[in-house]
Amino acid sequence: MPEQSNLSKNRSISPIWWAESYRSLTPNSSRWRVDRMPLWPEDSCMPEQNNQKMVARQVERIVRQLTSLSTLPAVAADLLSKLNGSAADPALLTERIESDPALTARVLALAHQERIAFSDEPTIAEAVSKLSDALLREAVISVKVFEVLGGKEDADAKRLFPRKQMALHSLATGCCAGQIAERVLPPQQRPTAYLAGLLHDIGKCALDEVMPKSFAKMVDQARRSQSGLAEVEQSHLGLDHAVLGKRLGQKWSLPPAVISAIWLHHCDAGTLSANLDHVQIVRIVALADRIVRQMDLGHSGSFDPPEDIEPLSKLLSITPQQLAEITNTLVGAVGTKRTLLGLEATDDPSHYYAMVRKTATDLAQDNRKLNSTSRDYTRLSGQADLIDDLLNEVDENASALDIAQALAECWQKHCQSGLTCVFVVPDSTDPFVEMATVDRRGRGEVKTLQVPPAMPPIPEVFRRQTAVLPVADAAKWLTEQLEADFNPGLLKMAPLKMGDETVGVVIFETFTENADDAGNKGLLLSCKVAAATIAMALASHKHELLAERFVQVMSSLRQMRATLAKQQSLTGLAEMAAGAAHELNNPLSVISGRVQLLAEAETDENKKQMLSQIQSRTDEMSQIVSDLLAFAQPPQPQKRSVLVSELLDKAVEKTCRACGISSMEIEIAGDETSDTVFVDVHQIVQSISSILINALQSYKGGNGPVWADCCVSSDGKTVSVAIRDTGCGMNTEAVARATDPFFSSCAAGRRRGMGLAHAQRLLSLNSGNLTLSSEPNAGTTATITLPKV
């Protein structure tokens, strides 16, 4: 970085990184659709609220299109070899399937799809016994194989999120949950606890599938900040892997207890109601996850310290002796199953390819039989109508957008239409609408469209009448955003209306002559059924959002309690410091005065030197007392409006004077420095100066460089200044204690350790905040937040 005379004010905003292309194969299509969306900001600024909302929608939409997760090559090859045999052993198949999260989820979804009736709670053993070998083989083939084409040894081990280690973590959590369940649950519920533990982190695997580069960045941020992965996901995506895992569980119709454990295992178990459905299984999975993380079995992608297991153990009435038994036997139990996953062998795709070739040969023979049977049944079967097809396509877990997709496909199929679009409007004030389209070639796509300002998403004509009408100018804003071949003159639209409420619109390209009233009434009847189905899905989604927000509030209680405890501790410390300072002031004044008198009367040079040293140390003690008083009893802030740039300029000048240097190397970026905040200028300048002094002291030369990046929060209420250096950095323990009074990572006597503590105290008085992130030998970032005018 070039030398700068005093202050380089480069106030350009850093460009936004664009996430990788997301690919999803849409139903009834062999073509890939590509979405691009802004996701990962390079600087510390949060995305605009609408952009983050759009990101959350697109991520959720892409994840919900997953039909399965990826399994490991050794598992797929082993299962195919057994399914290709004349008579597969159900016990062996069960053992291998329930060791792998991807195959377990796929088989449970297949059992629901085939309407398997379980004798009690769903289990893999019963599903395998009731599903045919052909269906199981189809399920294994449909599951993707992770990195089978990579051809690189140990490629997975080099990833920030190694899938083998994630598989081991999931397996260990399942085994541990099963062992806990043996001690607290009745026998019929124990297999469900194992399945819930095995599948509790499928949301992480799903994010790694659909957005590997951005997910790797989030894992790296969690590693650097030593925080939980869910917190990082929430800050960038607006939702976390627990919610996404819950959505997948609903999409795949997993058992309700498993879905609850996936969603709630990160919550504070003490705040969950004892009357909540499946609360025991949620607590069991949460305890199993903590035990496995403490034992370092596999890797979950989170880097925050594992939480204490004692509160959950007490809630589940698990004794310390039982915990010891579980931990002593867990490694052995996991070791028995981990060999089935091929976790200790390098990925060799040759065996998997051989099994795929053998399976393809068998499928070709089956296909010939199916073609013959299909021709026979075609003569006997009739074509189902649009409503029957639609209701057969959706179930109780379908979202409004899922129903819109199914309606677009069924509409095109039965109405012989060209381009067919269905958009849903859950909230008329929302600036975006979700639209499912099927083009002339039957390729499906889902898009998020922006509604022009002052333009209602539902055409006004549908407020006055319910009819099939030409599109014309009523929805011109929508057709202008379509990227497909269609004839605007052939487009018609129909409302998805139930009573007085219109929840969406169908737009379709018709190639037939104008339909008569009877034909239009038939279409409108289909629209009514679809509208009722979508309205129920929207109502269910609103209830889910309320429940999720409530869970987020409960989850934040734990952090709030910790923050309150720290504040109370600091208040007590401040009171003690004030008392100590007042008690020390008088003796120090007496000692200082007597030493001065003795020094003036003393003629012996040696004695005068010793008295001078006493005087010097007394002055140092007086300064410590002054620091104590400044920390314990700071003056009330005299707030006024001030530019951020003025605060930074004064802080740089104060830092240069304090360090005895003429200038420092600092670069300030962001147009937000021209924004105004409402603070006490002297106190905030002192706080920023303390942070800058720490940054300079992290370098051997003590002069920088230092960077200050400014940005405004997404709600426009605060301004953040991220002060960054590339000096010596701090370890996790030092970061946690950096704002504690008198804490210093330097050798005793080198520094007093009050700089950051005093800075935090003054910022708090001014409704501000200070957060730190650091890594040894990689520098430190101190972010201060101030109230914006």
Residue 678 lies in a domain: yes
- The domain of 193 spans 74-341
Mean pLDDT along residues 223-250: 91
Q: Which residues pair with 436 in a beta bridge?
A: 422, 446
Residue 28 lies in a domain: no
Mean pLDDT along residues 169-177: 95
Q: Which of 489, 507, 535 is the last residue of a domain?
A: 535
User: What CATH number has the domain bearing residue 458?
Assistant: 3.30.450.40
In three-state secondary structure terms, 405 is helix
User: What CATH number has the domain bearing residue 750?
Assistant: 3.30.565.10
Q: Are 495 and 583 within one domain?
A: no
Mean pLDDT along residues 129-152: 73
Residue 683 lies in a domain: yes
Q: Is the pLDDT of residue 80 over 60?
A: yes
Q: Are 194 and 305 within one domain?
A: yes
Mean pLDDT along residues 460-465: 80
Determine contact, residues 409/403, Cβ cutoff 8 Å: no
In three-state secondary structure terms, 384 is coil
Q: Are 526 and 557 within one domain?
A: no
Which tokens is 779 given? 């520098």
Residue 227 lies in a domain: yes
Across 3-61, the runs of DSSP E, i.e. the strands, are 22-25, 32-35
pLDDT of 30: 35
pLDDT of 399: 86
Determine contact, residues 219/161, Cβ cutoff 8 Å: yes
State how far the Cα of 711 lies from the Cα of 719, in Å rounded to an integer.
Answer: 6
| Range picked from 300-314, 406-420, 603-617 for highest mean pLDDT | 300-314
Residue 4 lies in a domain: no
Mean pLDDT along residues 119-136: 89
pLDDT of 765: 86
Arithmetic mean of pLDDT over the chain: 78
Q: Is the pLDDT of residue 574 over 70?
A: no
Determine contact, residues 402/64, Cβ cutoff 8 Å: yes
> Higher pLDDT residue, 87 or 591?
591
pLDDT of 743: 65
Q: Are 334 and 221 within one domain?
A: yes
pLDDT of 781: 92
Tell me 156's DSSP state. G
Residue 372 lies in a domain: no
State how far the Cα of 299 lies from the Cα of 169, in Å rounded to an integer.
Answer: 6
Mean pLDDT along residues 229-235: 90
Q: Which residues of 627-660 are buried (b: 16+ CB within 10 A; e: fewer)?
A: bbbbbbebeebebeebebbebbbbbbbbbbeebe
User: What CATH number has the domain bearing residue 628?
Assistant: 1.10.287
φ, ψ dihedrals at 788, nearest 5°:
-85, 145
Determine contact, residues 534/562, Cβ cutoff 8 Å: no
Q: Are 274 and 416 within one domain?
A: no
Q: Are 273 and 394 within one domain?
A: no
pLDDT classification of 21: cutoffs 50, 70, 90: very low
Give the residue from 522, 483, 488, 524 showing the smallest Cα distance to 508.
Answer: 488
Q: Which of 341, 367, 402 is the last residue of a domain?
A: 341
pLDDT of 357: 56
Q: Are 530 and 569 within one domain?
A: no
pLDDT of 564: 63
Q: Are 646 and 627 within one domain?
A: no
| Range picked from 14-28, 284-298, 580-594 for highest mean pLDDT | 284-298
pLDDT of 400: 86
pLDDT classification of 487: cutoffs 50, 70, 90: confident
Q: Are 405 and 313 within one domain?
A: no
| Range picked from 69-78, 192-201, 429-438, 736-745 for highest mean pLDDT | 192-201
Which tokens is 419 given? 């381009």
Q: Are 392 and 528 within one domain?
A: yes
State how far the Cα of 457 lies from the Cα of 336, in Å rounded to an integer.
Answer: 58
Q: How many CA atoms lie within 13 A of 288 on its CB side?
A: 35
Residue 515 lies in a domain: yes
pLDDT tens-digit series, residues 335-362: 888 876 666 655 555 555 555 655 655 6
Determine contact, residues 708/754, Cβ cutoff 8 Å: no
> Higher pLDDT residue, 522 or 689?
689
Q: Is the pLDDT of residue 557 over 80?
A: no
Residue 42 lies in a domain: no
> Higher pLDDT residue, 89 or 13?
89
Q: Are 185 and 110 within one domain?
A: yes
State how far the Cα of 715 lies from the Cα of 48, in Å rounded to an integer.
Answer: 8
Q: Are 456 and 486 within one domain?
A: yes
pLDDT of 381: 40
| Poorest-pLDDT segment among 56-65, 170-179, 223-232, 771-780 | 56-65
| Poorest-pLDDT segment among 156-165, 410-419, 448-457, 621-630 | 621-630
Question: What's the number of domains the chain is made of?
Answer: 4
Q: Which of 306, 341, 376 is the last residue of a domain?
A: 341
pLDDT of 609: 78
> Higher pLDDT residue, 651 or 744?
651
Percent of the chain with pLDDT over 90: 23
Tell me 674's DSSP state. G
Give the residue from 655, 640, 653 showing the smallest Cα distance to 786.
Answer: 640
In the numeric block, the tokens 């991220």 are attached to 722
